[in-house]
Each structure stands twice: as C-alpha cells, then as structure tokens.
Structure 1
Amino acid sequence: MKGSKFLLPALFKTLILPPSLFTLLLLLLPPSTPWKIIGYILSFPIVYIVRSNLSVYLSTRRAKALGARDIPRVKGRWPLNLDILVDWAKSGSEEEVGRMMVLLKRRWGGSYNTRVLGEDQIISSDPLVLKHVLLDDFDNFVKGEKFKDRAVDFLGDGIFNSDGERWKFHRSLMRPFFHPIHISPQLFAPSIQRFLSSLPTEGEAFDIQKDLGQLALEMAILWMTGEHLSDSTSSDHTRGETGYTFKDDVSIEWEEAKRHLGDAMTTAQRVVGKRVKIGTVWPLFELTHDPLIEPMKTIRTFFKPIIERAFKRKGLTRETDEREEIHFIDRLVDATDGMKLIEDQLINTLLASRDTLASCLTFCVYVLCLHPEVGSKLREEIRSVAGDENREVTKDVIRELRYCRAYINEVLRLYPPVPLNIRRTVRPSLLPTSQGGPPMYMPGNTSIILAFILMQRDPAVWGEDVDEFNPERWMNDGLGKREREGYMSWNYGPRMCMGQPFALTVTHTFLILLSRHLDKLQSEHKDMRFAFDVQPQGTAIPSAWTTKEGCDGRARGGKDRMWVVADVVLAIKGGLWVRFDHDHERTK
C-alpha cells in the first residue's frame, strides 16, 4: 500500500496504542462494563494529551541544557490550535495567502511554533533563520522521507525529491546544462513573437495568465528537448535549426499527450500538494483510485519517444552549423544511459521551469497594468537600449538593461513564484534570531515553513516603503546587507535555483518584445488595461481589502487590485484578465 511506511506507525500510535494501554489498565479497574466503555473512550484523548505535554516538557528541558530557549508556542483560540488549521485552509478561498502568518508574526515574532494538534510545526520569516536553514545548517534541513514518499510517483528520483549524496549527484549532473552559455534569447524570441501576435487587440478581454502558462510550457519544452509544441505535425522526417523532429515514431497517442501535457503537469502537482497538506493519512483518501495514474501516463507518453530519439542521436557525428542548438536532453543522454533517470530529470526540470516562469511573467504584466508610470520608464529604457523591432535581442542587449533587471527583481521581491518552502530537521538545531539573545531550540524530525513572501515584505528588512513597487531600490549603490540577506526569490545556499539564467533570459526577452508590441499598439492609440468586468465570479479582490481599514495584512497594504493566491506557485485568482483598449486620453 502506498504511503504505508508512515501511515501504519501513525495509525498504531493513534488507534492501537491507547486501547492497548487501557487493556493493561483494566487489570487494576473493576470489571464492570461502564468502566470499560468510559475507559476506552477516554484512552484516546488521555494518551494524546500525555504525549503532547511530554514532548513540550522534553523540548524545554533540552533547550535549557543547551543554553537556548523554546521557539514561541502559539496559543490559539480553539483547543489544539485547530483555528490555525482552519485559517490555513481559508488561504486563497476566503483570505489572501499569508495573512494568517502576518497576524501570527505580530503577536509571536518572526519565528513561532503553531503546535497544531499537539505536533511541532515551525513557521519563520526571520532572515537569519532562513539563512541558517538553507546555508549554515544545510545538511540538517532536508526535504525528508515523508515528502519523498508523497511525491515519488510524480518526481521519481529527481533533483527536487532527493537529499544528501543523491541530491549532490543530481546537482552535479545537471549544473553544467544550466550555464548561461547554453541559454540564448534567440531561441525564445520566435515563440514570444508568435504569442504576442496571437493576442486579441480589438478590445476583447482575455486571460493572459492562462496564455502565459502555455507560453512558458512551450519555451521550457523547446529549451529542454527542441520540440515545438505549437507546430503541427508533418509526415516528413526533418531536422530544423533549433531542434530535431522525427516523424516515423510519432503517434496519435503522442499528439494527444502533447495537447494535454500542461493540464497533466498541473494535475500531478495538485495531487502531490494535496497529499502534503493532508499529511501522513493521505493514502486513506486514495483507497479507491490513484489520481496520479492518468496525468503520469500523459507525461510519460509525451517524453518517451523524445528520450528514445535522443538516444538515437547519441554518439552520432552532427554536422551542425553555428545556428543550431544542442538541447538539454542531448546533454543528459551524453552523461547517462539511464532512461528512467533522464525521464525523472526532465519532469523535475519542467516542473521548475514552467510554473515559476509563468508566475514571473504573469506578475511582470500585472505590474505593468497596475503601475503604468513604472511601465513607461521600463519601456523608455528598452527603446533606448534595445532599439526597434529591427534589432535582434541578444545577451549584450540584455546586459545593458539595468532598469529592466531592477524591475524584474522588484517583481520577484513582492511576488516570489515560490512564496513558501518547507524543510525538516534530521537532528536538533539551534536557530539564531534577528532580535538577538539566546538561540531557539528546534527538535529533530520537525518541519519548518520558510515564509519568503513575508520576509520580502517585512518593513524591518526593507524599510517603511516595503509595500511600494520601487525598482530604484535595486539601482545605484544597490541593496544593503540587510536587504540582500532578506531576498531569497531564487532560494538560497546550495539549493539556489540553477534555472536562474534560463528564467532571466526568457523574462528579459519577453519584456523587450512586449514593450515593442505595446509601442506599436500605442501608435494606434491602444493601451493594455485590466478587464475587471469579466473577472470570474467569486475571484475579484474584495473591495474592503483596498480600504484603509480592510487592507491590514492584505493586498500589499491595499495597493493590489487582484487576489493573489498560492495553489502551487504564486498566481492571480481567477486569472489575469486584460484587454488592449483605446486610450481615450490620447484620442481626444
């Protein structure tokens, strides 16, 4: 049974141990039926309370022995802090992501222990704690066996589902492929141009978040494999400038998998995310069916012939010219013969590149609509440095766009694609604090949620203008030490995102080409605007959140105009609906 490694011990402690102890206790109690019934019922909460209080006592005792102190334990409104569990469940459906943590931080500080259902669960947005977890005590904070157990059917033995020596092996295998020398803006520009040309320009509203998700998928697959998802199949066996297309083994089944690849990846991520939220008992919710069977069949059907073709190319002498690219998959098959290992790495890489890139591009567009004065300055720099559509987008052009890079950094600060992360201790650890004083004792085998989004919106780190979208803070002398340590949108330490060159190259290229597209539309007296009137019912940001009274801990201090959620990555609830509409001010 899947998940039984952790489920069975949990069921034993919860359902078997209490009545077993009570059975032994019966030897000391009168043999009457009422005593048996009452004792059996009470055995569950009694054992639970004893275990919970014993763990608190032992943790406090160990902390004192090490000259440390306990991490503040939250005292919720309801018994066993069940209100925190309810508030967490409301994030995204009734509340904005992170607001619960904002309120808890005000009362309990930058790091605290929620102790939901009597179990330690640490949450922190303290830069020193996050640095300690991700760098200083890196080997002690792992994904953990429980996470791997829940994600193995999706991520397999890939880099995002491994720790220790296995993770180091994956990292060393993949790192060379992510070097900037292998990532060129010329590879992505045609896809972006086609995307922009396909957008409606006559006032029709459309969900650009959804469209950007498909664009990100296409560009990730293009860079990884050379496959063009937007191309229709042909009957010829051809080889193009940016990749290889072998038609002899392409089937109807593969075409179907290609069409549904994005949906399959999203479904698989949500299944794993649900398992993580449910916890140890997740197998009980999948007794009648395995929700990963269908999406994984689609994903594997898509990648199988592509991997087989890559193996066919391996070892062949390629008479390539300078315009042609050797793709990520080619470098993988040159490094290993393991087909399953290659499949796992492709799935892991696609997971990282598609969703995080789509989130970054979505919020870049969102900010352009939300802060047109910032957008004007961005487009002015792009016109000055990158020129018009006749000039090719190159790495040299991208390097000169200082304000554009600052713009992207500020987008990632306020809207990090991965707003939260989680690690688990192998052994106890002493956590430092920004407030000074004794360190905090964190027991072994305990989870900690790293709240990047709270840290990057913390006025104690970024100053009183923390909620302002201000790219200038990244320019001139740049950030101070405090701000640099409080910015982790690319993760931090040994697990820092290897895909940063890919994401930055694509995002810069996209913003350059989008700017040119907007300039062209502006010559026709059209601007890109929010389409609030078509936002799906129940997904519009509550009007109270934009008021002085209702914006407390929400909507970036009332400055946001869309509901920000975090299902898998940071996104806009209901989609980012926009339209290219006539600018009546310019046509007067």
Structure 2
Amino acid sequence: MPAVSYPHRDPIFGLDLFFEGIKLLKVGKFLSRAQQRYELVNNGVNTYTQLVLGDRVIVTREPENIKTVLAAKFRDFEFSHRRKDSCAPILGRGIFTTDGKEWEASRALLRPSFARSLVGDLEVFETHASKMIARIPRDGSTVDLQELFFMLTLDSATDFLFGQSTNVLGTGEARHRGKRFAEHLSYTTSVMSIRGRVGKLAAILPDQEYEDGIKFIHEYIQYYVRRTLEQKAKRGKSVQASSKYVFLEHLAMSESSEKKIQDELLSILLAGRDTTASLLAHLWYTLARRPDVLQKLRSEVLHLGDRAPSFEQIKEMRYLQYCLNEALRLYPVVPMNSRTAVTDTVLPVGGGPVGKSPIFIKSGTQIIYQVWAMHRRKDFYGEDAEVFRPERWETLRPGWQYLPFNGGPRICIGQKFALTEAGYTTIRLLQAFKAIESRDPEEYKESLSLTLSVGNGVKVGLTPA
C-alpha cells in the first residue's frame, strides 16, 4: 500500500517545501522543522511521501525501514546520481561516491587501516590537543571552541593520513598553506552539500571560488601522494616506511593508482575532520549550558591527575561514554541521508492510512531517512527525548533506532577512531579547565553541510583548573 502523502500547497512540484527548506537552512531550523512535519501528516505517522521538484520521494524515521534500506535489502539501494554528481568533482570515485563492486574494493582497501590498534594514535592526539589547548585564553575571554575543534581534527587527520599535519594549530609557512587548504575544504564541501540537495539548479551560475578550491585541494593532496609513491619506488619491494603508522604509506603498498589513492584519502580526510569536530562541538556546546553534567564528567576524569589517558582508560570512563552517546543522539553527525532504489522492492512498514502496512517501492524512488527525527522519538527515548540526559544510557540498549554512524555494510569504518579522539580531547580539556561559561545567548541553530555543526559556533569562556 502507498504511504500517506504530505499535504503540499503545490501538489505538482512541491515548491512549497522547496522554498521553505531554503529559508530554513538559512536560519538554522531545517532539521527541527523536518521533525515537526511528521506530526502534520495524518497524526504523526513515521513514514510519508513528499514531492521534491516534481519527484515523489519517501521520507522516513522508522527503524525497520532504515534497517531494510541499509542492511536487509542493501543491494536494492544505491546512492542517487545527484549525490554522486555533486561529490565527484572533489572526491572522485572513492568509498563515499561508489556502489557495488567498486565500493566493495574501496572498503576492502581501507578497512584494515581502521581495524588495527589505536594505541599509537594517542600520541598524535596528544600532540595536536596540546597545541589546541595552548590557544585557549587563560583569562576567561571568549573563544570559539568549534573553530578550534575543526583545526584540531584537520591536523590530527592529516597527520594520521599523510604522516605530516596541515599544522593549522601551529605556525610558519606550513600553517599558511594548511589554512588555505582548510578554507577551500570548508567552502567546496558546503557547495557540494547544496548541490547534493538541490541538484543542477544550484550549479547554473559559474563559481570560480569553487573551481579554484577544488584545484588547490587536489594539488595539496597530490603532493603527498606523489612523494610517497616516489619513496616507495626508491625502496623497491621493501615495506619499511615511517616509524609511526601512516595511512598513505599503507595505501601505496596496495598497487592502486595515484588517482585512486587521492580519492580515498580525500574521502577519509573529510570524514575524519568533520565527524569528530561535529561531535566535540555539540558536546561542548551542551557542557557550556549544563554545569551539572560538566562537573559530573570532570569528577570522573580527575582521578587521572594531569596524566594523559590510555585507550583503555578512555573506554572505562562510563559517564564520558554516556555523554558522547547522548551528544550523538541529539545531534547526529549526519542527521539525514538518502538512498535510491535500483530495482522494484518493498519497505516493511509505513503504508496505508495509519502507516502499518508494507510499501511498494518502484525502481528509481529516493528514500530519505531522517536520523535527527528518529533519535528524538518519544516512544523510543521517553518524554524527555529532547533533553540531554546522559544517564539514560545506563539502561538504554537501542537497536536501529540509534544510528550515529550509519549501519549495515556501509557502517562508518572510522567510528572507533572518531570516538577515541573525541574522548581523548574532552579528557584533556577537562584536566586543563574547571569551568565553562556560554558566551552565546542565542538558541541553538543548525549548520548543515556534509555534516551537522553548531550554527553560531561554540563561543565560551573557560576557567583554568
């Protein structure tokens, strides 16, 4: 049976939601409004259809449907051509822009690098976390932590990937080029995100900044790839490389082409920078408004003194893990995503007048799954689902209704890396500062690019310990 339709004012093209969406993106309320729409459709069903520029799509916050798309019928769905077309100029054909056998090859190439121990990466985290903390004013004056978190995660990701960081938290000429790289990444990925949502309409006018940005990004990455491949050629068959683990050096041993290595590096770099920075920004945005949570979290950390935590100690800090889980629940890094059916198929629930029947899905239909809205369902998380309450994780054991890192065969391969870096950074900040004060009286605003960030930044003042 078909799903219930959204009550459009424009029943032909759905331009009412299109133009409303543009306005909501500008004011940082797109996701909260998307959540409210479920209540406007036949008394709160969890799956409905709507029009996107004349195409009818399925919108859902139903775990069983999301499980079907991402796992149970994984091969029935792929990325849309709109997403592939928007990402290809920057990311080429890497793990985030391909499907089928080509994606399987990318996954097999990259997965071993994330399956190894993270112990050695703690040294990388320490190097860059120390530089970040040194940039925070000790006199309590205002600083934007979100800006620092994006600098931190770019430096640590490039250090892990290339064996040499962008050094945006450092000084000198390397920092200058690193800052240019970071600025171009931010701008081009924001354009990529808009084009992925809007399609060809967003690319009608020429954008020289976008073109120049892509050129600089590719040249920046190519330098490291070519240098590593040249070093490999000089060593011959030897696999001996840097004393520390360098992602690029291990990719170079795979016999992949220079372009393939570049595409995969850029994909992992963007994921490594944006996801961890988003998580840290939302956690510390919340801590600045919840002194009760801050003090409880800090009391868990203080037994370390000023010592750096080990990987095992990070995992053993239960309240820290609860806080990370809760930040990812309320502010999922990728708050919405989509797939397109490549064959006629069926979703298990959402059809009929009350949304309980299966839905026939015709080949070519887009499925938009909204993690933000699912994570705030009161039937899953209680009447206080909109409240940041880490204690709920003492007993909460969610399944597909909690999806911070996607699920199924395409589940994020770097989630362990991201959670470890976020935990490590939070511990070091709590050791260095005993209190935090919000310097932003405005209500929360979303900033949507490839990932979710805080629209106003995380402007705070911190009190040294």
Whether these two folds match at TM > 0.5 is yes
The CA deviation at 1:131 is 0.9
Q: Which residue matches 1:504? A: 419
User: Is the CA contact 1:224–1:327 (under 8 Å) kept in the aligned structure 2?
Assistant: yes
Equivalence map 1:292-303=2 (5 Å): 292-303=210-221
Q: Which residue matches 1:65? A: none
The CA deviation at 1:102 is 2.3
The CA deviation at 1:447 is 1.2
Q: Which residue matches 1:406? A: 322
* TM-score (structure 1 length as normaliser): 0.73
Residues 341-350 or 398-407, more deviating: 398-407
Between the aligned partners of 1:305 and 1:492, the Cα distance in structure 2 is 34
Between the aligned partners of 2:239 and 2:40, the Cα distance in structure 1 is 64
Between the aligned partners of 2:241 and 2:94, the Cα distance in structure 1 is 31
Q: Which residue matches 1:378? A: 297
Aligned residues: 452
Q: Which residue matches 1:530? A: 438
Name the aligned partner's letter for residue 293 of structure 1.
E
Q: Which residue matches 1:166? A: 102
Equivalence map 1:490-569=2 (5 Å): 490-519=405-434, 527-532=435-440, 540-541=442-443, 562-569=444-451
Larger Rg: 1
SS in 2 for 1:292: helix
Between the aligned partners of 1:188 and 1:420, the Cα distance in structure 2 is 29
Q: Decide which of 315, 327, 331 is 1:415's aligned counterpart.
A: 331
Equivalence map 1:39-78=2 (5 Å): 69-78=1-10
Q: Spell out, residue by residue over 1:218-268, the C-alpha distance to the aligned partner (whole angstroms, 9 max, x if none).
A: 1111111111332556xxxxxxxxxxxxxxxxxx8x875433111111111
The CA deviation at 1:351 is 1.1
Aligned-CA RMSD value: 2.3
Between the aligned partners of 1:137 and 1:294, the Cα distance in structure 2 is 40
Name the aligned partner's letter for residue 201 of structure 1.
R
Between the aligned partners of 1:223 and 1:79, the Cα distance in structure 2 is 50
Between the aligned partners of 2:30 and 2:369, the Cα distance in structure 1 is 14
The CA deviation at 1:436 is 7.0
Name the aligned partner's letter for residue 511 of structure 1.
T
The CA deviation at 1:479 is 2.5
Name the aligned partner's letter for residue 372 of structure 1.
P
User: Is the CA contact 1:87–1:100 (under 8 Å) kept in the aligned structure 2?
Assistant: no
Q: Decide which of 116, 129, 141 is 2:65's aligned counterpart.
A: 129
Between the aligned partners of 1:413 and 1:512, the Cα distance in structure 2 is 20
Question: Does residue 192 of structure 2 align to residue 272 of structure 1?
Answer: yes
Moved segments of 4+, more than 4 Å: 317-321
Residues 486-495 or 364-373, more deviating: 364-373
Equivalence map 1:306-325=2 (5 Å): 306-314=224-232, 316=235, 324-325=243-244
SS in 2 for 1:433: strand
Q: Decide which of 80, 83, 90 is 1:147's aligned counterpart.
A: 83
Q: 1:178 to 1:186 in 2, by over 3 A?
A: same
The CA deviation at 1:105 is 0.5
Q: 1:160 to 1:530 in 2, by over 3 A?
A: same
Q: Which residue matches 2:308? A: 392
Between the aligned partners of 2:176 and 2:429, the Cα distance in structure 1 is 31
Q: Spell out, residue by residue over 1:447-482, the C-alpha distance to the aligned partner (whole angstroms, 9 max, x if none).
A: 12110010001102212221222222222xx424xx
The CA deviation at 1:101 is 1.9
User: Is the CA contact 1:71–1:441 (under 8 Å) kept in the aligned structure 2?
Assistant: no
Structure 2: any 5+ residue segments left out of the alignment?
none
The CA deviation at 1:319 is 7.2
Between the aligned partners of 2:274 and 2:400, the Cα distance in structure 1 is 25
The CA deviation at 1:157 is 0.8
Question: Does residue 29 of structure 2 align to residue 96 of structure 1?
Answer: yes
Q: Spell out, residue by residue over 1:65-87, the C-alpha distance to the aligned partner (whole angstroms, 9 max, x if none).
A: xxxx0121112234533221122
SS in 1 for 2:338: strand
Equivalence map 1:342-381=2 (5 Å): 342-381=261-300
Q: Spell out, residue by residue over 1:471-510, the C-alpha distance to the aligned partner (whole angstroms, 9 max, x if none).
A: 22222xx424xx3220001101011000111101101110
Between the aligned partners of 2:212 and 2:125, the Cα distance in structure 1 is 30
SS in 1 for 2:433: helix
The CA deviation at 1:117 is 4.3
Q: 1:193 to 1:467 in 2, by over 3 A?
A: same
Q: 1:194 to 1:117 in 2, by over 3 A?
A: closer
Question: Does residue 464 of structure 2 align to residue 573 of structure 1?
Answer: no
User: Is the CA contact 1:257–1:301 (under 8 Å) kept in the aligned structure 2?
Assistant: no
The CA deviation at 1:367 is 1.6
Name the aligned partner's letter for residue 123 of structure 1.
V
Identity rate of aligned residues, in percent?
Answer: 27
- Higher RCO, Cα 8 Å, sep 6+: 2
User: Is the CA contact 1:332–1:342 (under 8 Å) kept in the aligned structure 2?
Assistant: yes
Query: Whose strand fraction is larger, Structure 1's or Structure 2's?
Result: 2
SS in 1 for 2:460: strand
Between the aligned partners of 1:95 and 1:224, the Cα distance in structure 2 is 33
Name the aligned partner's letter for residue 174 of structure 1.
L
Question: Does residue 147 of structure 2 align to residue 210 of structure 1?
Answer: yes
Between the aligned partners of 1:92 and 1:437, the Cα distance in structure 2 is 32
Name the aligned partner's letter for residue 428 of structure 1.
D
The CA deviation at 1:331 is 0.8
